[in-house]
Structure 1
Amino acid sequence: MPNERLRAVMAAGGWTHTDLARAVDIDPKSVERWVNLGRTPRRATALKAAQTLGEDVHALWPQLRQAQAARAVSPELVALYDQRADLPVSVFVELLGEARQQIDVLVYAAVFLHEAFPRLNDLLRERAAKGCAVRIAVGDADGVRVQQRGQEERFGHGIESRCRLALMHYRPLAGVPGIDLRTHGTTLYNSLYRADDQVLVNAHVWGVNAYAAPVWHLRRSGGGGIFDTYAESFNAAWDTARPVEG
């Protein structure tokens, strides 16, 4: 049975099968099957297509809601990775580079970003110059919770030195218009890398280094979802953090 809602939305917006396929990075034949045969795309693909068309994903594919309820999986989940090491740094860089309004980073150190992409500060400056609000919070190396994390992960004083190294990397950004740099002493349950309505969440596991802990990629699909939970968590941690002077 054809997907009449999808067909009408595409027609109203002047979208051809090829146009939508190119925007979503799939084969045009897949779009043709969605429209003419009523096939249902994978959730991540459906979310991207719906966002491209400016529609609610469940309005285009109601069956996804039913499947969602059966699996109890958040519709905001784009992807789940077994460990952070599975993601090339380019995933983080491309996400931040696409931000237009807001970048939020909450970590203890995450020096892997600067080590693998030395132009990170330049990218953040460029985003800020384009009007993107950038907030970076790194761990307070002298904080009790940072030291405790080192003990729990059997990393000793290494995590403290990496916090200092992270601050050294980011310090040139202190005082740059549009960029706010702070240090925090919170118990870090998750490292967060937010770009507008997307976020990479590196979930920390007791006794496990962050690179070996899982990461989930979320995209906001409405108010009150899991994305907002992490956004509010960032704000709460940010409010406790101390500004770094230029």
Structure 2
Amino acid sequence: MNERLHSVLAQRGVSPESLAEACEVDPKTVGRWLGGRVPHARHRFNVAQHLRVEENFLWPAPQRRPQRPGGVGSDLVGTYQNRASVPRETWLSLLHEAETAIDVLVFSGTFFAQSNPHVAKMLSARADDGVRVRLCFGDPTGQAVAVRGREEGIGDTLAAKIRASLTYYRPLLPHPSCEVRLHDTTLYTSLFRYDDTLLVNPHVYGQPASANPLLHLKRAGSEGWFDTYADSFDTVWASSRPWTPDQEERAAHGQD
């Protein structure tokens, strides 16, 4: 609970709804701020200006956490036994609350859409609010997907899963803030980035990604685990190609 923000709102006679309107955010976002979530820098500035109070009073600078022993980075805030154990509500809240960037790197990522049939609408809505959305799937015609399919013992099924998964994201293609690409790289981890939060799903030989552990990272500074994985996403993204479904469907079925 941010008692200081509650107190200043009461003193100024400003309702949460009025603050949301002034900062051009959803009232639910202000509710999360009141509940203790720290806004992004531009929102902290706008709130402080609107309420005529020092930003540091509302959100004092946190004390630096000491480096964890044993070489474990301070970016690590939690782990899950496997990806399947991450609550659906966690995925939804991270997507809802992203304000600058959503990056996804997977082979098929079927669970991402199947657990949330409205994922394309949600991503489009976040893009409308200024969030950059980058989705990178395995190239179903590529060598990396063929190898991974053999390793998991499912053969061509992985390529079919990718094609099925991609159909959910066709509505995003016209949006200028959304990009969907295909990669043909050896994928050591699936990555799901929401602003400064990153869910890292390492791949174990012969096992589906859902059965493998997941690391929950929060960017704590430069040159940490978060930046290492974020840089790896950018490297794969740079070598990937845009998904052009119409051209690829014509190539698959031949000319009439």
TM class by shorter chain equals: 0.7 to 0.9
Partner of residue 185, structure 1:
184
Partner of residue 65, structure 1:
66
Q: Check 1:101–1:14 CA distance in 2 against 1; reply closer, same or farther (3 A cut).
A: closer
How far the C-alpha of 1:203 sits from its partner, in A, is: 0.7
- CA displacement 1:173-196 (0-9 Å, x = unmatched): 112121011111111111111011
How far the C-alpha of 1:20 sits from its partner, in A, is: 9.7
Please give the secondary structure, in 2, of the residue aligned with 1:94: helix
Q: Check 1:22–1:149 CA distance in 2 against 1; reply closer, same or farther (3 A cut).
A: same
- Give the letter aligned to residue 82 of structure 1: Q
Partner of residue 115, structure 1:
114
Please give the secondary structure, in 1, of the residue aligned with 2:192: strand
How is 1:126-205 mapped onto 2 (pairs within 5 angstroms)?
A: 126-205=125-204
How far the C-alpha of 1:92 sits from its partner, in A, is: 1.6
Partner of residue 99, structure 2:
100
Gaps of 5+ in 1: 1-9, 25-51, 59-63
1:199–1:217 CA contact under 8 A, matched in 2: yes
Please give the secondary structure, in 2, of the residue aligned with 1:74: coil
1:191–1:202 CA contact under 8 A, matched in 2: yes
Between 124-133 and 88-97, the greater mean CA deviation after superposition = 88-97
How far the C-alpha of 1:155 sits from its partner, in A, is: 1.8
Please give the secondary structure, in 1, of the residue aligned with 2:227: helix
- CA displacement 1:14-63 (0-9 Å, x = unmatched): 788xx999426xxxxxxxxxxxxxxxxxxxxxxxxxxx9352442xxxxx
Q: Check 1:54–1:205 CA distance in 2 against 1; reply closer, same or farther (3 A cut).
A: farther
How far the C-alpha of 1:129 sits from its partner, in A, is: 0.3
- Give the letter aligned to residue 204 of structure 2: V
Please give the secondary structure, in 2, of the residue aligned with 1:125: helix
Q: Check 1:156–1:127 CA distance in 2 against 1; reply closer, same or farther (3 A cut).
A: same
Q: TM-score, normalised by structure 2?
A: 0.72
Distance in 2 (alpha carbons) for counterparts of 1:244 and 1:116: 23
Partner of residue 42, structure 1:
none
Please give the secondary structure, in 1, of the residue aligned with 2:199: strand
2:6–2:34 CA contact under 8 A, matched in 1: no
- CA displacement 1:77-132 (0-9 Å, x = unmatched): 11101101111232222112211011101111111121111110011000000011
1:138–1:166 CA contact under 8 A, matched in 2: no
- Give the letter aligned to residue 157 of structure 2: G
How is 1:220-239 mapped onto 2 (pairs within 5 angstroms)?
A: 220-239=219-238
How far the C-alpha of 1:215 sits from its partner, in A, is: 0.5
Paired residues in the alignment total: 200
How is 1:17-96 mapped onto 2 (pairs within 5 angstroms)?
A: 22-23=35-36, 53=59, 55-58=61-64, 64-65=65-66, 68-69=68-69, 71-96=70-95
1:200–1:218 CA contact under 8 A, matched in 2: yes
- C-alpha RMSD of matched pairs (Å): 2.4
Please give the secondary structure, in 1, of the residue aligned with 2:36: helix
Q: Check 1:54–1:212 CA distance in 2 against 1; reply closer, same or farther (3 A cut).
A: farther
2:5–2:34 CA contact under 8 A, matched in 1: no
2:98–2:126 CA contact under 8 A, matched in 1: yes
Distance in 2 (alpha carbons) for counterparts of 1:122 and 1:21: 27
Identity score, percent: 38
